Amino acid sequence: RELFVSTIKSLAAAIDTKDPYTHGHSERVASIAAIIARELDLPPQEVERVYIAALLHDVGKIGIDDHLLKKGTGITEEEYNNIIKQHPILGASIMAPIKQLQKTIPGAKYHHERYDGKGYPEGLAGKDIPLVARIIALADTYDAMTSERPYQKAMNQLSVIGKIKEWSGSRFDPDIVTAFISAIEKERRSNA
């Protein structure tokens, strides 16, 4: 089991090297997702599944040309819609042959779905989006917003939390937002 998780971590690190702005992104998203999963009182085996799915959420970026990933704001709408938005489907197809990853595929495939149905690749809404993907969606957004990117400056934690609260019920499952905020507040209290 330990070898399996180490292999997945190495793969996630390899994914992150394709884009200098996402160095460490997969590991951070996985850690945040696991914190949310624990806050939701998921069993330890499910928390680990969420963690592994989050490590691999961007595995589909392996199939996207490096120059597109590094373009940032220079990406055209056509490139975004026809190439970048395909990475969840590519990720699912990369993971599909691996028996041990079957239960983590929904995390990679659906992490860009939105609670209001305006996401991709399938436009799923609400509880039709697998729980693992709803968790990863929030963790992914939090890390992206608190990290420096070519198209945006890193935001401070309080500003990002405010945005996440604002997007509760539209981009994010309100239950996931509540669990995330609760976990953040517990962390603040323990560090005080």
- 139, amino acid identity: A
> Looking at the predicted structure, is the pLDDT value of residue 18 above 80?
no
Task: Share the mean pLDDT of the chain.
Answer: 91
Q: Which of 16-20, 32-36, 76-80, 186-190 has the highest mean pLDDT?
A: 32-36
What CA–CA distance (Å, rounded) separates 5 from 118? 33
CB 142 within 8 A of CB 32: yes
Local structure of 102: helix, strand or coil = helix
- Percent pLDDT > 70 in the chain is 96
The partner residues of 172 in beta bridges, in order of sequence, read 168
DSSP assignment letter at 127: G
Q: What is the mean pLDDT of residues 62-89?
A: 85
Cis? peptide before 97, omega within 30° of 0:
no
Which residues, other chains included, contact 129 with Cβ-Cβ below 8 Å and sequence gap of 6+? 110, 113, 115, 119, 137, 173
DSSP assignment letter at 156: P
In this structure, whether the domain defined by 2-191 belongs to CATH 1.10.3210.10 is answered with yes
Banded pLDDT at 149 (limits 50, 70, 90): confident
The predicted-structure confidence for 83-122, as pLDDT tens digits, reads as follows 889 999 999 999 999 999 999 999 999 999 999 999 999 9
CB environment 142-168: b (16+ within 10 A), e (fewer): bbbbbbeeeeeeebeeeebbeebeebb
What CA–CA distance (Å, rounded) separates 82 from 86? 7
- Looking at residue 19, its pLDDT comes to 66
- Looking at residue 168, its pLDDT comes to 98
Name the CA radius of gyration of the chain, rounded. 16
Which one has a higher pLDDT value, 14 or 153? 153
- Looking at residue 31, its pLDDT comes to 96
Record the pTM. Answer: 0.92
- Looking at residue 71, its pLDDT comes to 72
